[in-house]
A and B are shown apart, each in its own frame.
Chain A
Amino acid sequence: MTRTLDSPISENELRRRLEEAEDTIRALRSGEADALLVASDREQVFTLESADKPYWLMVGQMPDPAAILTADGVVLSCNQGFANLVGREPVRALAGESMLSFVADHVRPDVEALLRSGLARDTQGDVPLSRPDGAPLTAHFGIRSLREGAFGFCLLVVDLTTQQHYQELKRTQAALRDADRRKDEFMATLAHELRQPLAPMRNAVEILKTCATNADDLEWARGVLDRQVRLMTRLLEDLLDISRLSRQGVELRLEPVELGAVIEAAVETSRPFIDDAGLKLTQSLPGPVRLTADPVRLAQVLTNILNNAARYTEAGGSIHLRAEREDGGVAVSVRDTGVGIDPEMLPSIFEIYSQANPAFTRSRGGLGIGLSLARGLVELHGGTIEAKSEGRGRGSEFIVRLPIAS
């Protein structure tokens, strides 16, 4: 540092002034003092601190945690965000603490390694931390090496949990939108399905109104009314069941049952659909298997799966029903040679209102809630249901697994 001297000057005074200059430099180096500049008009003084003030304000207001650490990982200074991250107050009390003291034992080696590599070059990495309240947090550490002076690094932390949370919200929103769209499609299908039986019923009623005495005509009209009323009843029953299931309103009437009897009942109910579709049904059953189940509901499950197989298999195809014992339970599988399921449709096949192809389904009848109903009922029995398909045109297989009462 230079300063002008007023000459002449005594040797003592010179010595004193030089000592003072040396002391100033020592105090500045050790951080005991801050350099000061006086503006030429002497109206203003500046220190590094006042020059840094805008940056400190900026860093201070930043929500992301930031800290300056020594090469040994000791905090020299940090912002409020950093204090919030490590759950300590006040900010200034954190100076002098080791960064490692803020992280759990099991992540300490990771953080240590990150800091060590940060000493050589700028580095970054994700570290699992926990919030002061114990909630898990994924922190992205950005470490900038500060090669000069007493500083080691500048550490910037980005809380990835917020971003992950945002992504999750976006996914949920997309799923909700999708569910909403499927509900709309379901409503359209429902209206169509409910209107479908009305035309033949109206025809039959017209015939009856003409007081026709022709026995064949009366028989035909009775048959039409009977079939269509049955169809509508089944549709409405399914609808009621699905709404009961979603409101936990279904109660099982559990009793000891023989699986073979349940399968027989289901096949009997589905037989007209399978025959109408021109399909061949084969079965392979094990010996007697006793379950604790609601026989009516379990038969409903298998009927829905069989009907589904019939609906999606072209005439001339076949359906194979197989039951076999497994560890602690029984597996009932229904395999068809039908249109199969696209791999991307598989995960949502049991979702309510899910339909592989609404237009295609309409042509075959049905609301597309049968599988959803089946899953709900199987789960009420403590079992699982699984769909398999090697893809479009390669057939499908539905497997129901149920625990066997011990």
Chain B
Amino acid sequence: MKPDEIVAPLTLVEVANGESADLDTWDLRLYVAGKTAKSVAAFENLSRLCEEHLPGKYRIEVVDLLVHPQLAQGDQIVAIPTLVRKLPSPIRKVIGDLSNAERTLVGLQLRPART
């Protein structure tokens, strides 16, 4: 990482596709710490996968732990970026920059794991 990538932390951003409070809506939370290359990549990868597999029924909330450190505790975040599926339950976590689409989809249970 280069120094210029560490500045300007993301604030709590809500990215919704419009419809909310729907029972079908996937509630996703992406934990990052500052605007790093990995967190930017994770957000871009996630948005793309959601548009492709969950069009019209997802909500992404980006939590910057540099700004809201206390939020790390609730979801027991030990690495960043970490994606947490809040809804539908049960809670699922995918750790990393989500560059591996297959693994991310399996982690989110959007696709059954290959055996």
Interface residue ranges, A against B (CB under 8 Å): 1, 3, 16, 20, 23-24, 26-28, 30, 32-36, 38-39, 42-45, 47, 49-50, 52-53, 56-57, 60, 77, 91-92
CB-CB contacts of B1-14 with A at 8 A, as 1s and 0s?
11101100000000
B contact patch SS: loop
Whether B69 and A77, one on each chain, are in contact in the complex, defined by CB atoms closer than 8 angstroms, is no
Q: 10 extra interchain contacts, Cβ-Cβ under 8 A, other than A24-B79, A42-B69, A60-B2?
A: A27-B95, A32-B95, A33-B81, A33-B82, A33-B96, A33-B97, A50-B33, A53-B3, A92-B5, A92-B37
Residues of B within 8 A of A60 (CB): 2-3
**In the complex the two chains form, what is the Cα distance from A345 to B93 in whole Å?**
84
Residues of B contacting A39 with CB < 8 Å?
A: 69
A54 → B minimal CB distance (Å): 9
The count of A-to-B residue pairs whose CB atoms sit within 8 angstroms is: 95
Cα–Cα distance between A26 and B103 once the two chains are bound (Å)? 12
Instruction: For residue A308, give the distance in angstroms from its CB to the closest CB of chain B.
Output: 68
Let me know if B80 is at the binding interface, CB within 8 A.
yes
| A1 CA to B2 CA, complexed, in Å | 28
Asked if A53 contacts B6 (CB within 8 A), the reply is: yes
Contact with A along B58-101 (1 / 0, CB 8 A): 00000001100110110011111110000000101111110100
Contacts of B95 in A (CB 8 A): 20, 23-24, 26-28, 32-33
Q: A20-B93, A27-B96 are in contact. Are A43 and B69 (CB under 8 A)?
A: yes
Q: Which A residue's beta carbon lies closest to that of B64?
A: A45
Report Cα–Cα, A345/B73, bound state, in Å. 82
**Which of B79, B97, B99 has most A Cβ within 10 Å?**
B79
Cα(A336)–Cα(B69), bound, Å:
93
B78 touches A36 (CB 8 A): yes
Taking the nearest CB of chain A, how far is it from the CB of B37, in angstroms?
8
Given contacts A16-B90, A45-B65, contact A36 B2 (CB under 8 A): no
Q: Determine whether the beta carbon of B65 is less than 8 Å from that of A49.
A: no
Interface contact A1-B78, CB-CB below 8 Å: yes
Query: Of A26, A27, A47, which contacts B33 at CB under 8 A?
Result: A47
Offer 16 A-B interface pairs, CB within 8 angstroms, sorted by A: A16-B90, A20-B95, A23-B95, A24-B95, A28-B95, A30-B96, A32-B96, A32-B99, A36-B77, A42-B69, A49-B33, A50-B33, A50-B66, A56-B1, A56-B3, A91-B2
